[in-house]
A and B are shown apart, each in its own frame.
Chain A
Amino acid sequence: MLAYIVRRLLYAIPILIGVNLITFALFFVVNSPDDMARMQLGVKRVTPEAIEKWKVERGYDKPLLWNAQAGGAARATETIFFQKSAKMFAFDFGRADDGRDIAREITTRMMPSLAVAIPVFVLGLFSAVSFALLLVYFRASYLDFAGVVLCVAMMSVSGLFYIIGGQWLVSKIWHLVPISGYAGGLDAAKFIILPVVISVIGGIGSSTRWYRTLFLEEVSKDYVRTARAKGLSERAVLFGHVLRNALIPILTGVVVLIPLLFMGSLLIESFFGIPGLGSYTIDAINAQDFAVVRAMVFIGSLLYIVGLLLTDISYTLVDPRVRLQ
């Protein structure tokens, strides 16, 4: 089993290199730094000097892959690829357009993101699994039918509607919590509660329906019939047998998301003015700050790969069939 994990860990390296190459190609090969400078400075009134200045400020004036003018190791290091892409492996992301250090910014913005994302994750999972169990307990009844209809309807509503509607109703009409903003420490609670509730409601329709399908599939299996033939009550069958089996795909399916919680949610954070990584990303996209976007792509991929690794490990922990073989 250890060998298996080591192998997965080694496999992560070429993946990360692949991601790095793709981002590099996307940001520096598809468009030359000159094109980017021209767009950022405005296509009309741009002089070659302004472009040159813009490039020097950001370190985009070097050759892409190979610096023939430099000597020794600098031939490879004094290039855009090495400075901008390869250094990311050392978590050196350079500076944003406003001059701040991106790595520092990321570490300070992680906490607000997590403050929202973790409750959303835990509550969302718990409530969706509970509702799905409820529907399965009453399967093939009107309650089940109504529940499924409600899930489909909730899935069909745009996420923006939940946010805008929720802000309008709770903050503007009822004045229960501030409409947006953030504070450190315990004060954070009043800012966090609405975004968390809205996120959970927004996601509950599709996940409940998905979990219900998983449970139903499990309910129709032979071992459930065996459990009933033992004389177990329907509730004991559901909690003692079905849940244990269905939780394996559910848990291992969500494990991949756990590291990505660091990234926060783009929409929620920007609507509620939470200074996390999600709003950082969205601001960077709007300001066309390529350095930040590049850094976030790298971090996101890294976290996803960590998530894949955790998924593999979690399988070996939760499922005896994998653990003991």
Chain B
Amino acid sequence: MKVVILWSDALLFLLLALVFIGGWWSRRQAHLRDAWRKVGASATAMAATTVLATFLLVGVLDSLHYRERLPDVGGVPAGSTNYSNEVLSALDAVLSPLRTRSEKTYSAPLATYLFAKESLDAGGGGRDFPRLRHGGAHLGAQLDGHGGDIAMRVLKGLGLGVALWLPLWFFARRKKLMRSGIHGDGAGDTAGPAVGAVLVTALVLLLIAGVVVALAQGYHVLGTDKVGQDVLYLTLKSIRTGLLIGTLTTLIMLPAAVLLGMLAGYVGGWVDDAIQYLYTVLNSIPGVLLIAAAVLMMQVIIDTHPEWFASSAERADARLLALCLILGVTSWTGLARLLRGETLKLREMDYVQAAQAFGVGRLAIMLRHILPNLMHIVLIALVMDFSGLVLAEAVLSYVGIGVDPNTISFGTMINAARMELAREPMVWWSLAAAFAFMFALVLAANLLADAVRDAFDPRNAG
């Protein structure tokens, strides 16, 4: 096994590291700690965080990439090992039954037969629905037990979910008891509803996970797609793409937006004019068209330089990053304008004037007095943009200017599935699965963003 670190993996881990450092740092900053405590006390925010954490777990697992070692074949000189060309992730390893047990083509969720009639090889020809290779294979030829088997598995799955949840519940209870022991009555009560919300959300998630795990061992829980791939596997793989686009885009544009916005506001004069000109120009090109033009051009570059990429995974990864970059370039203007406006206000604050009276330099004033007072806007922008970007990815991939067609994402799933809407009866499960997962992700992000904005916006203070 050989570990492969794609660029997007590295950036994702960098981002996570930044989040942890930021979290550690903000523990020591009174105002940040208070604001986070407000977020922590909100039941909806904590429920949303639980959901997001689950998505993040899947995404992180899917970012630990490696190449499998191929079994030694004769003729290869001893000492040199061959690695598969296919780049896999830890998630692929966990889900390897789902990944490998593919069918021939479409099959409905939990089905045992293919979706389309085919001429059967054996026995008298004729057209009928062929049995699936894997879905319900354990039932054998007798399918009487199909319904009962599913019911049994659902029960087992629910049991599994509860079993996993109970330790969590005990842990939370003990902590609560300990806390109320220290602070006397009701001191820990502000966190009460939030802890409850986390527990309930965790229970729901674990129940769903338990049922899905139990069923997935014998069936395609969400059916299969055109080439017979398991839809559940595809949706889980899509999560990483969504997370990356939602976070890396903002991360990439952040330094430029903060720097230019702050410079324009604080330095003023021709610097301000130049920066304003730059972002008015970029802003005036309709976003989709600028993205389209840039993606088309990037496509030309990637296609004309195949030698840059060792594997198809790397090429897809490069295109994903380039998309983040392009989205970032088109979207930094809004944040920069916001920061410029805020800096203009901060520049006139008395404490900035007091610093000027000491002869403190421009750079030091920007770093000590302006930047820390802008961070809440940056944070709010970061969480607010996330959901919009996840949704945008789907649309862009549909238009054909999104991620590489080989990258699994919500957008490519929807794009592939909508061709089949006209079928009778309809192939609905791919679409439904993609929309449902995307909805859960975006809703959770929106709810968390609301709570973060409420907690950090100084206008809501007091």
On whether A and B touch (CB less than 8 Å), the answer reads yes
Q: Which residues of A contact B (CB under 8 A)?
A: 14-15, 18-19, 22-23, 26-27, 30-31, 35-36, 38-39, 43, 152-153, 155-161, 164, 167-168, 260, 263, 266-267, 270, 281-282, 285-286, 288, 290, 293-294, 296-297, 300-301, 304-305, 308
Q: Which residues of chain A have C-beta atoms less than 8 A from B398's C-beta?
A: 160, 267
**Which of B277, B299, B439 meets A14, CB within 8 Å?**
B277
CB distance from A55 to the nearest CB of B (A): 14
Can you report 15 residue pairs joining A to B where beta carbons are below 8 Å apart?
A22-B281, A27-B293, A31-B300, A39-B300, A156-B387, A156-B443, A157-B435, A159-B395, A160-B394, A164-B431, A285-B296, A285-B399, A285-B401, A294-B293, A296-B286
CB distance from A178 to the nearest CB of B (A): 14
B182 located at the interface, meaning its Cβ lies under 8 Å from any Cβ of chain A in the complex: no
Q: Which residues of chain A have C-beta atoms less than 8 A from B278's C-beta?
A: 18
Q: Which residues of B contact A (CB under 8 A)?
A: 277-278, 280-286, 288-290, 292-294, 296-297, 299-301, 303-304, 387, 391, 394-395, 398-401, 410, 414, 418, 421, 426, 431, 435, 438-439, 442-443, 446-447, 450
Known pairs A156-B387, A158-B395 / 15 extra A-B pairs, C-beta < 8 Å: A27-B293, A27-B297, A39-B299, A39-B300, A43-B304, A156-B443, A158-B391, A158-B438, A160-B435, A285-B401, A293-B292, A304-B283, A304-B284, A305-B284, A308-B280
Summarize B's interface: helix, strand, loop or mixed: helix
In contact, B286 and A260 (Cβ under 8 angstroms): yes
**Which of A26, A39, A294, A305 meets B303, CB within 8 Å?**
A39
In contact, B439 and A158 (Cβ under 8 angstroms): yes
In contact, B395 and A36 (Cβ under 8 angstroms): no
**Which of B394, B443, B450 meets A153, CB within 8 Å?**
B443
In contact, A301 and B285 (Cβ under 8 angstroms): yes
Our count of residue pairs bridging A and B at CB distance below 8 angstroms stands at 126
Q: Which residues of chain A have C-beta atoms less than 8 A from B296's C-beta?
A: 285, 288, 290, 293
| Cα(A247)–Cα(B203), bound, Å | 45
**A36 and B414 in contact, given A19-B285, A22-B285, A159-B395 (Cβ under 8 angstroms):** no
A20's nearest neighbour on chain B, judged by CB, is B281
Q: Which residues of chain A have C-beta atoms less than 8 A from B418's C-beta?
A: 160, 164
| Cα(A31)–Cα(B277), bound, Å | 26
Summarize A's interface: helix, strand, loop or mixed: helix
Q: Which residues of chain B have C-beta atoms less than 8 A from A35's C-beta?
A: 300-301, 304
Q: Which residues of chain A have C-beta atoms less than 8 A from B290's C-beta?
A: 297
Q: Which residues of chain A have C-beta atoms less than 8 A from B435's C-beta?
A: 157-158, 160-161
CB distance from A78 to the nearest CB of B (A): 25
**A30 and B450 in contact, given A267-B398, A301-B286 (Cβ under 8 angstroms):** no
| Cα(A38)–Cα(B277), bound, Å | 36
| Cα(A301)–Cα(B286), bound, Å | 6
| Cα(A42)–Cα(B16), bound, Å | 41
| Cα(A17)–Cα(B268), bound, Å | 23
In contact, A15 and B286 (Cβ under 8 angstroms): no
Q: Which residues of chain A have C-beta atoms less than 8 A from B294's C-beta?
A: 26
Q: Which residues of chain B have C-beta atoms less than 8 A from A267's C-beta?
A: 395, 398-399
**Which of B301, B395, B446 meets A155, CB within 8 Å?**
B446
B438's nearest neighbour on chain A, judged by CB, is A158
Q: Which residues of chain B have C-beta atoms less than 8 A from A282's C-beta?
A: 399
B435's nearest neighbour on chain A, judged by CB, is A161
In contact, A156 and B439 (Cβ under 8 angstroms): yes
CB distance from B51 to the nearest CB of A (A): 12
Q: Which residues of chain B have C-beta atoms less than 8 A from A158's C-beta?
A: 391, 394-395, 410, 414, 435, 438-439, 442
